[in-house]
Structures are given as structure tokens and as C-alpha cells.
Amino acid sequence: MRKVIGVLLAIALVTGVALVAHRPGPAGAQGGGTIEATVTYAGAPVVEKLKVNKDTEKCGTEVVIEKVVVGANKGLANAVVSVPSAKGAAKAVKTTVDQHGCKVVPHVTAMTPGDLELKNSDDILHNIHTYSTAKKVMTEKFEKPEFIKLTCDVHSWMLGWVAVMPNPFFGVTDGSGNAKIENVPPGKYTVEAWHETLGKQTKEVEVKAGQSTKVAIEMKK
Ligand SMILES: [Cu+2]
């Protein structure tokens, strides 16, 4: 009997993060500080366009694949900024990734270990292994910190990333390269920025209670 796998997205583990999951310490919500990170990239944006010849009713006839998104003032979008060594309990926050318009939305998601809900807003199959009556929602459980690549067997261009973080101190940069991390316990930390094609860069920062600290991280080729 053929085994039926009800997963909407083929999930490939790409890189195991060299982080050991921290035992959650006392939450640092009281008296914490804020990190205002700006991630920049001096290089050119990388955008590819691809002609689509199947499921065009849902996918359109052309997809734009944004590999490196650079906005105003060289701000780099879709970078995950985190403070891996900060101590704080991971809150269970419901996290959802949608398959919409034959794209993974959002392109980059960050979460603490727990359940990821995978939605399918398109009325088409997004994986050759699904049941014939496609489920609208599936849940995947991620227990360890890692960066996970999401791909679709049906639409080769579909791509997304899920960053599972060891603590709740993270953010994903917006179109201007900004990410804000709040309630970080005071202390000295290494702030890390990760991008799917540009890799990682780090910067030292000192967080003070009740204050906001700016940190600028430049990604290199
Ligand atoms: Cu698909």
C-alpha cells in the first residue's frame, strides 16, 4: 500500500544551526532593553523572473523570485536578526506560513520551537504527495533551533525559509532592513544577522535596561 504523506511542503533541512538550545531561564521581560538593528547590503538586488506554464490561473504567467531584496539606504530585507545567547523563556506563539499565489508567504519566518501551521490558500495542489482532497492546513513541529528551507514539489520556484530560534529575541528585517528586538535582558551580546544567500554576520552590542541600542550590521557577498 502506498504511503500517503499529507505534508503540503517538502521540508528540507539545509543547515543545522551551530546553536545548542538553551534551557529557558527566567524571562527577561521586566527591565529589558531594546535592540534596533539595521541590516544593510552594498551590493545589487538579485531578482529573477521566470515564465510560468502551469497553474497560471493561480500562479500568474510570470513569477518574480526575490533572492536579495535591497531597499532604501541599502537596507536588506528578509534577514533574521537574533541574540542567540540571551536568556529568556520561549513563548509559544502561533506561527503560520501560507502558500498563496504559488509563493511562500512570508518568504522568511522566524519562530521559537513549536508548531508551524502551513496553509494553502490556493485551490491547487502544492505538493505531489498530498491527498487528492488537499488539506487546507497542516502543522509541522520543529523542536530544535535551525534554518529550514521550504520548497514545493509541484512549483519548482516556490521557496521560503523558517528560522527556528532558541529564544524569543529575534526579528526579520523589513523592506528598509530594520528589525526591532524588545525586552532583551541587560547585558553584552553578540547580535547575529542571517540571510538565505548572504550568510551570517555578527556585531557586539550592550543592552541596557529601559534603553534602546542601535546596531548596524553590513552583510558581505
Ligand atoms: Cu506549489
Mean pLDDT score of the chain, rounded to an integer? 84
Asked if pLDDT for residue 163 goes beyond 50, the answer is yes
Instruction: Using the mean position of ligand 1's atoms as its centre, give its distance from the Cα of residue 8 in Å.
Output: 8
Let me know: does 157 contact 62? Beta carbons within 8 Å.
no
Instruction: Using the mean position of ligand 1's atoms as its centre, give its distance from the Cα of residue 158 in Å.
Output: 6
Asked if pLDDT for residue 131 goes beyond 80, the answer is no
Instruction: Using the mean position of ligand 1's atoms as its centre, give its distance from the Cα of residue 173 in Å.
Output: 25
If 0-12 CB within 10 Å is exposed, 13-18 middle and 19+ buried, where does residue 128 land?
Answer: exposed
What's the confidence (pLDDT) of residue 22?
38
Instruction: Using the mean position of ligand 1's atoms as its centre, give its distance from the Cα of residue 166 in Å.
Output: 29
What's the confidence (pLDDT) of residue 141?
86
Average pLDDT over residues 11-27: 39
Q: Which residues have their alpha-adjacent CB atom under 5 A from ion ligand 1?
A: 126, 152, 154-155, 158
Average pLDDT over residues 202-211: 98
What's the confidence (pLDDT) of residue 29?
47
What's the confidence (pLDDT) of residue 10?
45
Q: Give the residue from 147, 150, 145 showing the smallest Cα distance to 127.
A: 150
- Distance, in Å, from the CA atom of 162 to the CA atom of 126, rounded to the nearest integer, reads 18
- Distance, in Å, from the CA atom of 137 to the CA atom of 117, rounded to the nearest integer, reads 7
Asked if pLDDT for residue 177 goes beyond 60, the answer is yes
pTM, two decimals, is 0.83
What's the confidence (pLDDT) of residue 128?
39
Q: Give the residue from 79, 55, 53 showing the smallest Cα distance to 66.
A: 79
Instruction: Using the mean position of ligand 1's atoms as its centre, give its distance from the Cα of residue 124 in Å.
Output: 8
Instruction: Using the mean position of ligand 1's atoms as its centre, give its distance from the Cα of residue 155 in Å.
Output: 4
Instruction: Using the mean position of ligand 1's atoms as its centre, give its distance from the Cα of residue 103 in Å.
Output: 7
Asked if pLDDT for residue 63 goes beyond 70, the answer is yes
Radius of gyration of the chain (CA): 19
Share of the chain above pLDDT 90, in %: 60
- Distance, in Å, from the CA atom of 150 to the CA atom of 135, rounded to the nearest integer, reads 17
Instruction: Using the mean position of ligand 1's atoms as its centre, give its distance from the Cα of residue 7 in Å.
Output: 12
What's the confidence (pLDDT) of residue 66?
83
What's the confidence (pLDDT) of residue 90?
75
Asked if pLDDT for residue 129 goes beyond 90, the answer is no
The string over 32-51, giving b where at least 16 C-beta atoms fall within 10 Å of a residue's C-beta and e elsewhere, is: bbbbbbbbbbeeeeeeeeee
Let me know: does 191 contact 180? Beta carbons within 8 Å.
no
Instruction: Using the mean position of ligand 1's atoms as its centre, give its distance from the Cα of residue 104 in Å.
Output: 8
Instruction: Using the mean position of ligand 1's atoms as its centre, give its distance from the Cα of residue 123 in Å.
Output: 11
Average pLDDT over residues 154-182: 94
What's the confidence (pLDDT) of residue 30?
59
Q: Answer with the residue of higher pLDDT: 29 or 42.
A: 42
- Distance, in Å, from the CA atom of 53 to the CA atom of 67, rounded to the nearest integer, reads 21
Instruction: Using the mean position of ligand 1's atoms as its centre, give its distance from the Cα of residue 171 in Å.
Output: 26
